[in-house]
Structure 1
Amino acid sequence: MLINADFSRRATVSGDEYQWIASPQKGVERVMLDRIGEEKARATSIVRYAPNSHFPQHQHPGGEEILVLSGTFSDEMGDYPAGWYLRNPPGSAHQPFSDPGAIIFVKLRQMPEEENRTVRADTNDPNCWQQLTDREICPLFTGGYEQVSLQRVNAGVTLFPEPIQSAELLILSGTLCTGEKRFAKGSWIRLPAGEYPEFLAGSDGVTYFEKQNHLGDVMNRSA
């Protein structure tokens, strides 16, 4: 299965374009944003847990990255309400579930084999945020191959004032403008290397999850 699998091209999915597909596990549905592979795949998805749903114990040979968007997501390590960022390195395993229901943003099999850090970060904690001139940043992870953060950008500000190597965004609130296009909450955007001066925060500002410089290897493979 190939979905938005050409990483040398821009890919977008607006929140109003979501197509929910049942997973093999009852009560769990997903929106496939990009994917290379079948059930065991390199994948980026929005996943929805119905109340009292769960997945059986499973491993993550290529790692797993999660941002909880709503509800409460849980596993053996704890309960994670909306705003929590989780990072499980390659070779880790868990048994996820949700008692009240949850929606999460998930990236699977996208970490190098040598990655060994487990991360649990509550982005609701004001102490996690740093104030800059035109935005606030909540750093989540920095490695030799990627930088992950949440950002709150003021109205009219250019998101990328300099060229980027690659970037991936999930809009959490507000709007992102590019030309006549408006991306609202829930929109997902993946950008290859280049300049993007037209990407501006909307009139109410924009808050988003961002990954940068993480697509080099996969873009080389797809070239």
Structure 2
Amino acid sequence: MLINADFTLPAALAPHKYQWTPSPQKGVERVMLDRVGAEKARATSLVRYAPNSYFPRHEHPGGEEILVLSGTFSADDQHYPAGWYLRNPPTSKHMPFSEDGAVIFVKLWQMPSDETRQVFINTNDDDNWHKKDGREICPLFAADYEHVSLQRLRADEALFAETIKGGAELLVLEGELINEDQTYQRGGWIRLPVGGQTQIRAGKKGVIIYLKLGHLLNVIGINNQ
């Protein structure tokens, strides 16, 4: 299965165009944002757990990155309300579930095999935020191959000041983001290729986004539609 699988092209999805499709597990649905492969795939998705739904315990050979968007996501005996960022390295195992229901942003099979760090960050904690060049940032992960953060932009502030050298991917968490003539509200997703240029800016009331940078250098040419 190929969905937005040409990483040399920009890709985007606004919330009103979501298409929720059932997963193999009862009570769990997903919106496929990009995908290269069948059920076990390099994939970026929104995943929605109905109350009391779960996946059996399983391994993630290529790692798993999660941002909890609403509700409470649980894994084994740990519970993560909206705002938690989780990073499980390759070969990690867990049994994910949700008692009350949850929506999460998930990236699978997108880590190098030698990544070992496990990350758990509560982005609701003010101590995890700091200012850099006048912008509020919550760092989530940094390595030679990618940088991940939440960023809070002021009204009308431009997201990028220069060409996007290693590609970028973002998800709107609060407020509005404007890309040329398209407005993306909460849940809007955008992927920009290596070397791309854009006029993305915050809306009139500012915006909070999830932002990943640099990671597309490793996937250019992996699959073209």
Which TM-score tier does this pair reach, normalised by the shorter chain?
Answer: over 0.9
TM-aligned CA deviation for residue 181 of structure 1: 1.2
Matched, 1:32 2:32: yes
- Within 5 A, what are the aligned runs for 1:167-182? 167-182=168-183
Equivalent residues of 2:153, 2:206 under 8 A apart:
yes
Equivalent residues of 2:194, 2:216 under 8 A apart:
no
Deviations 1:122-179 (A, max 9, x none): 0000000012344200000001100000000001111011222200000001111122
| Aligned equivalents of 2:204, 2:44: Cα separation in 1 | 29
Q: What is the root-mean-square deviation of aligned Cα atoms in Å? A: 1.1
Match of 1:80 in 2: 80
Match of 1:202 in 2: 203
User: Given the two structures, how large is their TM-score scaled by the length of structure 2?
Assistant: 0.96
Identical pairs, percent: 59
Equivalent residues of 1:160, 1:195 under 8 A apart:
no
Match of 1:14 in 2: 14
TM-aligned CA deviation for residue 194 of structure 1: 2.6
Match of 1:136 in 2: 136
Match of 2:191 in 1: 190
Specify whether residues 143 and 133 from structure 1 end up closer, same or farther in structure 2 by C-alpha distance, changes over 3 A only: closer
Equivalent residues of 2:167, 2:216 under 8 A apart:
yes
Deviations 1:46-70 (A, max 9, x none): 0000000100011000000000000
TM-aligned CA deviation for residue 191 of structure 1: 0.3
Match of 2:101 in 1: 101
- Aligned with 2:127: secondary structure? helix
| Aligned equivalents of 1:144, 1:132: Cα separation in 2 | 20
| Letter aligned with residue 11 of structure 1 | A
Equivalent residues of 1:8, 1:222 under 8 A apart:
no
| Aligned equivalents of 1:117, 1:69: Cα separation in 2 | 22
Equivalent residues of 1:166, 1:215 under 8 A apart:
yes
| Letter aligned with residue 96 of structure 1 | P
- Aligned with 2:191: secondary structure? strand
Deviations 1:87-128 (A, max 9, x none): 000000100000000000000000000000000000000000
Gaps spanning 5+ residues in structure 2: where? Answer: none
- Aligned with 1:215: secondary structure? helix
User: Given the two structures, how large is their TM-score scaled by the length of structure 1?
Assistant: 0.97
Match of 1:59 in 2: 59
- Aligned with 1:176: secondary structure? strand
